[in-house]
Amino acid sequence: MILNTKNLRVGYGKKTVVADINIEAMKGQFICLLGPNGSGKSTILKTIVHMLAPLGGGVYLNGQNISSLSNLEIAKTTAVVLTESISPGLMTAYDIVMLGRHPYTGFTGKPTVEDTQKALDALKMVHADNIALRYFGELSDGEKQKTMLARALAQEPQLIVLDEPTSHLDARHRIEVMLILRQLTQKKKVTVIASLHDIDLVMKACDIAILVKDENILAYGAPEDVLDEKSMARLYDMDKAVFSSYLGGVELRSNGYGNVFVVAGAGSGARLYRALVKHGFGIITGVLPENDIDFHIARAVGATVVSDKPYADISPDAYAQAQSLMSNVKFVIDAGFPIAFSNRQNIDLLRYASEKGKSIYTLRDPDEAAKIYGDDAGRFVYCQNLRQFLDVLLKAENLIE
């Protein structure tokens, strides 16, 4: 165990921010703190690196109480990457990384050949050796963050504590930083404790997730166990968005009433659902087997889903339910799902809608539609891409209203 806390209470002065914190960080673990802004993640991180004194309980570094250690002793085991932006003047990225050797250099701070090598290695490890000679002030946010990460590595720590290391970064650097941290924990067996906001990346990269909210630790455990729709909704008070543990990401929830019926399946509905939600449509969809990717996405975006058991024909009950829901909608959409034996009744569903006089919008090729639907295909509205499709739909909606 590298670091643990016992009944730790953190805060400023007399004000407790979070209490009852019991973290056990093992060698090589990637631990992340999730929680809304102001929930106390930073306060916890500052306390475990001894930048803030604990209000109660204790922080133990390799079994020793951190209060009994000097700054230098802590520096040799723990490195930090903070949120505060720095302006070090005329220092190259290499110079900054070399500062990480501070706990090991002599009285004058003159680096040895070994120090130089370690600084260069650290730069290489974060793929930043190409920016080594540029002044820190001239680097992009992503390059700066990689430099600060390399500086932390040059400190040869057993534990790296990072406060929101992916904020302000573009998608590429965000993922790159996470991969570097992942690699550090696996290859170098460094323990990483970080506060993060990217729920999807936490799910995919971390070993332990700690959920922090309202002065409490809501949950502590493997992200696979801890992160689900309920815990995320509670953590972030989300009602307009949903975290789906199957999809490993957040979906925006529809807030419209059900005015569109989508017949989909096998992923054909995924982009369509999101596009419809984005433009304020309320979705009804079906009939989907419960192992279909579209089933999970539709549920996550808050659609009304008509579903059925997987690996079987669509049951008469489900079919009837779909028919009745369909009767009240303005638009029926054929998502262009691939047709197989088990979902052949969805074709009948669309034919039924067409006979009832509903306009059917489809993303299929007209020739393909003619083969599938026969004469009914002549009454369908065809769209080549999603953009065009939405334009048509939005225009039609305005006409109706």
Binding site for another protein (CB under 8 A): 49, 51, 70-76, 78-80, 82, 84, 86-91, 94-96, 99-100, 102-103, 105, 107-110, 116, 120, 124, 129-130, 132-133, 135, 137-138, 155
Structure token digits, residue 51: 């930048």
Rounded CA separation 322/341 (Å): 18
- Conformation bin of residue 214: beta by default, left when phi > 0, alpha when psi is -120 to 50: left
Is the Cβ of residue 105 or residue 321 nearer to another protein in the bound state? 105
Is the Cβ of residue 37 or residue 87 nearer to another protein in the bound state? 87
Is the Cβ of residue 165 or residue 286 nearer to another protein in the bound state? 165
Is the Cβ of residue 156 or residue 229 nearer to another protein in the bound state? 156
The least CB distance from residue 135 to another protein, in Å, is 5
The least CB distance from residue 83 to another protein, in Å, is 10
Query: What three-state secondary structure class fits 111?
Result: coil
The least CB distance from residue 117 to another protein, in Å, is 8
DSSP character string of 324-346: HHHTT-SEEEE--PPP-GGGTHH
Is the Cβ of residue 137 or residue 310 nearer to another protein in the bound state? 137
Report the relative pairing of strands 282-289 and 258-263 from DSSP bridges: parallel
The least CB distance from residue 47 to another protein, in Å, is 13
Find the radius of gyration of the CA atoms of the chain. Answer: 27
Structure token digits, residue 227: 């992160």
The least CB distance from residue 89 to another protein, in Å, is 4
Report the relative pairing of strands 56-61 and 3-12 from DSSP bridges: antiparallel
The least CB distance from residue 190 to another protein, in Å, is 15
Is the Cβ of residue 87 or residue 385 nearer to another protein in the bound state? 87
User: Which residues are CB-neighbours of 66 under 8 A, at least 6 positions away?
Assistant: 48, 50, 58, 59, 60, 74
